[in-house]
Chain A
Amino acid sequence: MQHIDEELRRLREKLLEMWDLVDYQLTSGRDAVMNADHELADRIIKLERKVNNYDIKIDRMCENFFALYTPVAVDLRTVLAMLKINTNLERIGDTAEGMAHFVKKIDRPFDPELIELTKMMEMYDQALAMFRECRVALVQDDPKHAKEIIKLDKALNKIYRKSDVVITKYLQANPDRIPEALALLSIIKKLERVGDQVTNMAEEIIFYREAKVVKHKRKKKKKDE
């Protein structure tokens, strides 16, 4: 293995460590939301500092790589992709932290009927699955898999688009549950963001493997929809 490959391997390893940390935040976030678990929410919030440290470390590793190896072609695309994946991972960590803050605002678990109506858990599981599959695509350098992940985002958007109407209806029937419903709506918004962020990361995998930029095509399509 050449020195440059060893550096790229170390960078990728660091990124995967960060990925696992954010995975823990997201997975625990699901339990915290389900059970209104404030203690777990606190742990998720606390982890944010560690994720931020990874973010800084990976930024620095990329900066050094550019300066010392002046990469071109696939090496250049890989480091650019790692840099952007790093940014998106950090944001997913922020999103998980944000959801934990909403959990802390509620003092009892969400109304099961509200969860059922909004399909929030379905959305959470889908976002989590996308996040995990994206890691698989990165580890296996698999742009085909990355493309499949991008398609999954549609289901999240669909649930998200309906959530306003569903929650409005619910509030009309349950006017005493405004804070709870608003907190849930915020969590749904954050899950939609996770879907977008995972999509961004999947696009980066396609970019560095195939030298294809797919992000604008998708956004254009989204606009046309």
Chain B
Amino acid sequence: MTKKQSKLEANNLDAYYGDFQALKNINIAMEEKAVTAFIGPSGCGKSTFLRTLNRMNDYIDGFRIQGQILLDGRDIYATDVRVDELRKEVGMVFQKPNPFPKTIYENVVYGLKIQGIKDKKILQEACEKSLQQAALWNEVKDKLDKSALALSGGQQQRLCIARALAIQPSVILMDEPASALDPISTAKIEELIHELKKNYTIVIVTHNMQQAGRVSDHTAFFYMGELVEYAKTKTMFTSPSDTRTQNYITGRFG
């Protein structure tokens, strides 16, 4: 949809939970180093779609897809793709901050340790860099050995972002990353998203229309498993072309 290169692409994607079809023929190309927001009412398929982008749905019984999802032109559901390798490339941040019951430091380097990296210097550098990128370093640099659970909700969420960044992904998926946070913490996360898009491709699911407007470059509106409209965010929020989009974003649905 743009001149810039697309990082992620879905082609004729259908997704099913058993007999229920959750996604219907989704075709979308998401731009590299930009923020794409998915909006739509609960149950519209936006989170399902987000989770197909790093195969998080693989764990769900009866879940299957048809069609393709391409990351850098490569089908992530191809048989030769290793899911753990894919998730190094495509990190995820969830709605509720979910730090491990470990120290701040251990949280950030967790993924690297799992990968077998033991060199303390490398781990420490990665920890500082990730916390800097997540705009949390200044707040926690003197208490890296303290429990992550002692941090505030907003700090915990930025820690989770730092943890995702530590393994150096190129895509970060965010599932309502600020919905459980107060306005100040939300603003920090949104600022962070602005910063991160210089180096990462970000896909965010949000129920907050204003947030989608503030942080994203492109917005996709999902409804009943369909991708109804996908356009530049400015266009979506000023003159959407589909009546269903207009009704949803102006709060006149149903």
The answer to whether A76 and B210 touch (CB under 8 A), given A2-B252, A4-B251, A71-B250, is no
Contact at B251–A76, with CB atoms within 8 Å? no
- Which residues of chain A are near B240, meaning CB under 8 Å? 73
Q: Mark A83-123, 1 if CB is under 8 A from B, else 0.
A: 00000000000000000000000000000000000000000
Contact at B210–A74, with CB atoms within 8 Å? no
- Which residues of chain B are near A4, meaning CB under 8 Å? 250-251
Q: Pick 20 A–B contacts, CB within 8 A, sort by A.
A: A2-B251, A2-B252, A4-B250, A4-B251, A70-B209, A72-B209, A72-B237, A72-B238, A72-B249, A73-B238, A73-B239, A73-B240, A73-B245, A73-B246, A73-B250, A74-B250, A75-B250, A76-B238, A77-B239, A211-B239
The CA of A216 and the CA of B234, in the complex, are separated in Å by 20
Apart from A72-B250, A73-B238, A73-B249, 7 more pairs, CB < 8 Å: A72-B238, A72-B249, A74-B250, A75-B250, A76-B237, A76-B238, A211-B238
The CA of A4 and the CA of B252, in the complex, are separated in Å by 10
The CA of A70 and the CA of B245, in the complex, are separated in Å by 16
B9 shortest CB reach to chain A, Å? 28
Main secondary structure of the interface of B (DSSP, over half): helix
The chain B residue sitting closest to A5, CB to CB, is B252
- Which residues of chain A are near B245, meaning CB under 8 Å? 73
Chain B: number of interface residues, binned into ranges: 10 to 19
Q: Does B213 contact A (CB under 8 A)?
A: yes
Q: Which of the listed residues B239, B245, B252 has the most CB atoms from chain A within 10 Å of its own CB?
A: B239
Contact surface of A with B, Cβ cutoff 8 Å: 2, 4, 70-77, 211
- Which residues of chain B are near A73, meaning CB under 8 Å? 237-240, 245-246, 249-250
Interface residues of B in 36-95 (CB under 8 A from A): none
B109 shortest CB reach to chain A, Å? 40
- Which residues of chain A are near B239, meaning CB under 8 Å? 73, 77, 211
Interface residues of B in 199-248 (CB under 8 A from A): 209-210, 213, 237-240, 245-246
- Which residues of chain B are near A72, meaning CB under 8 Å? 209, 213, 237-238, 249-250
B252 shortest CB reach to chain A, Å? 7
The CA of A72 and the CA of B251, in the complex, are separated in Å by 10
The CA of A107 and the CA of B252, in the complex, are separated in Å by 59
The CA of A38 and the CA of B219, in the complex, are separated in Å by 60
- Which residues of chain A are near B252, meaning CB under 8 Å? 2
- Which residues of chain B are near A2, meaning CB under 8 Å? 251-252
The CA of A77 and the CA of B249, in the complex, are separated in Å by 13
The CA of A153 and the CA of B209, in the complex, are separated in Å by 41
- Which residues of chain A are near B210, meaning CB under 8 Å? 70
The CA of A211 and the CA of B243, in the complex, are separated in Å by 13
B214 shortest CB reach to chain A, Å? 10
The 9 closest A-B pairs by CB, nearest first: A211-B239, A72-B237, A73-B246, A72-B249, A75-B250, A73-B250, A70-B210, A73-B240, A73-B249
B40 shortest CB reach to chain A, Å? 15
The chain B residue sitting closest to A71, CB to CB, is B250
The chain B residue sitting closest to A212, CB to CB, is B239
The CA of A71 and the CA of B238, in the complex, are separated in Å by 9
